[in-house]
Structure 1
Amino acid sequence: MSAKNHRINEQIRIKEVRLIADDGEQLGVVATDKALEMARERDLDLVEVAPNAKPPVCKLIDYGKYKYEMDKKNRESKKNQTQVKLKEIRMQPKIEGHDLQFKSKHVLEFLQEGNKCKVTVRFRGRELAHTHLGKDVLHKVLELLGEENYNLDRAPQMEGRFMSMILSPKAKKK
């Protein structure tokens, strides 16, 4: 639950709440008016931390400080996330050997950066009658990459005039 949608002090309109003191001590089920009074005496706020519990759980804390801590936790968790991008490499069924090696090297670089890669073969005109050539090109790419460098997320498959497969990087062992 984010810090934005907590009910505090007078916003809590239920008869009684389970109260937790600022030091973490359980004070039991208390009438809301009494809990508000205790909060004012200690110069703190009454914050509803678990609204779905029966009765709702409230804490005596400094709301500004609590909100700051929650935002800090959210920023920390976002810092450790990595965005995985889907890169695409396009080829044609009549690709030459050197070009195939060059493009396979790029696919490998994308995978080593931690990105997924979509390898696509585009068929033009009468090439569409020879889709087996496209499948051969995609299998050659897999051979050039080496099995230890990728996971095959989606095997080669036709999508209109394109045949494509999706590769993801192998998980790194720690």
Structure 2
Amino acid sequence: MGGHRPDSRDFGPRINDRIRITPIRLIDDAGEMIGVIELDEARKMAQEKGLDLVEIAADSRPPVVKMMDYGRFKYESAKKERANKVRNKVSEMKEVRLGRSMKIDPHDVGIRVAQARRFLIEGHRVQIVQNFRGREMAHRHKGEDRMDDIITSLADLAKVEMAPRLNGRRLTMVMVPERQKIEAWKRKMIAEGKPILPSVPEMMDEMEDDDDDDE
């Protein structure tokens, strides 16, 4: 029946030869109630359709049994469970620091932005931090300008959840991935034969290529 053999390690519902009580209340594979019939008759019906008998309400009297392809049922159930885990997974907050002060090389800023892109593609929220030292606080607008540039650089993947906010000598903002944009970016990478999660240097090359296209 359905090619599914009972396994002593299977702690799921009783199926096929593991069902012993007769009569049973049978439901067919379309969900229609057949009614109360003898177990042997139900087995013959299931065999004719190449399906399994699965006990879905063991405590009922008579027990309720349904005809189905149990192997396919287990596969679909596991698939749905994995999908639910992915949907319900709370994204982790990643922090990207733009050095200890405003005196960070533009190339190093590019590395930090590439790291942020990778985190966003992985589905994480990203907190970006710009620190100020000494007299840099008098020119904090430069830090705000840098944050605006980063927002523009990441706009193809994410949106701003928390706008740049000054707290002491730290300017912080939070960006969150946008699913549709991430999926579009992944399709683009696949079409171009590039890895979906490239290394940071590869990510920087991609960003530079995009800048060249804009010129």
TM-score calculated relative to the size of structure 2: 0.45
Among residues 111, 118, 121, which one is paired with 2:127 in the alignment? 118
Deviation at 1:138, TM superposition (A): 5.6
Deviations 1:104-135 (A, max 9, x none): 532563267354322134578x89xx6x94x9
- SS for the counterpart of 2:53 is strand
* More helix by percentage: 2
The reply to whether residue 145 of structure 1 matches residue 151 of structure 2 is yes
Given that residues 89 and 107 in structure 1 are in contact (C-alpha distance below 8 angstroms), is that contact kept between their aligned partners in structure 2?
yes
Does the C-alpha gap of structure 1 residues 138 and 59 become closer, same or farther in structure 2, counting only changes over 3 Å? farther
Given that residues 6 and 48 in structure 1 are in contact (C-alpha distance below 8 angstroms), is that contact kept between their aligned partners in structure 2?
yes
Does the C-alpha gap of structure 1 residues 151 and 98 become closer, same or farther in structure 2, counting only changes over 3 Å? same
Task: Report the counterpart of residue 174 of structure 2 in structure 1.
Answer: 166
- SS for the counterpart of 2:155 is helix
- SS for the counterpart of 1:105 is helix
Aligned-pair Cα RMSD in Å: 5.1
Given that residues 120 and 176 in structure 2 are in contact (C-alpha distance below 8 angstroms), is that contact kept between their aligned partners in structure 1?
no
Identity %: 22
Does the C-alpha gap of structure 1 residues 6 and 155 become closer, same or farther in structure 2, counting only changes over 3 Å? farther
The higher-RCO structure (CA 8 Å, 6+ apart) is: 1
Given that residues 90 and 121 in structure 1 are in contact (C-alpha distance below 8 angstroms), is that contact kept between their aligned partners in structure 2?
yes
Work out the CA distance in 1 between the residues paired with 2:52 and 2:149. 64
Does the C-alpha gap of structure 1 residues 27 and 159 become closer, same or farther in structure 2, counting only changes over 3 Å? same
Given that residues 53 and 65 in structure 2 are in contact (C-alpha distance below 8 angstroms), is that contact kept between their aligned partners in structure 1?
yes
Q: Which shifted more, 97-106 or 154-163? A: 154-163
Deviation at 1:151, TM superposition (A): 0.8
Task: Report the counterpart of residue 60 of structure 1 in structure 2.
Answer: 67
List runs of 5+ in structure 1 lacking aligned partners.
Answer: none
Correspondences of 1:1-174 after superposition (within 5 Å): 5-8=12-15, 17=25, 19-22=26-29, 24=30, 26-30=32-36, 34-42=37-45, 45-49=52-56, 58-61=65-68, 65-66=69-70, 68-74=71-77, 76=79, 78=82, 86-92=93-99, 94-96=101-103, 98-99=105-106, 101-103=109-111, 105-107=113-115, 109-110=117-118, 113-116=121-124, 117-121=126-130, 133=140, 137=143, 140-146=146-152, 148-149=155-156, 150-156=158-164, 164-170=172-178, 171-172=180-181
Number of residue equivalences: 155
Given that residues 104 and 141 in structure 1 are in contact (C-alpha distance below 8 angstroms), is that contact kept between their aligned partners in structure 2?
no
Deviation at 1:154, TM superposition (A): 3.2
List runs of 5+ in structure 2 lacking aligned partners.
Answer: 1-9, 185-215
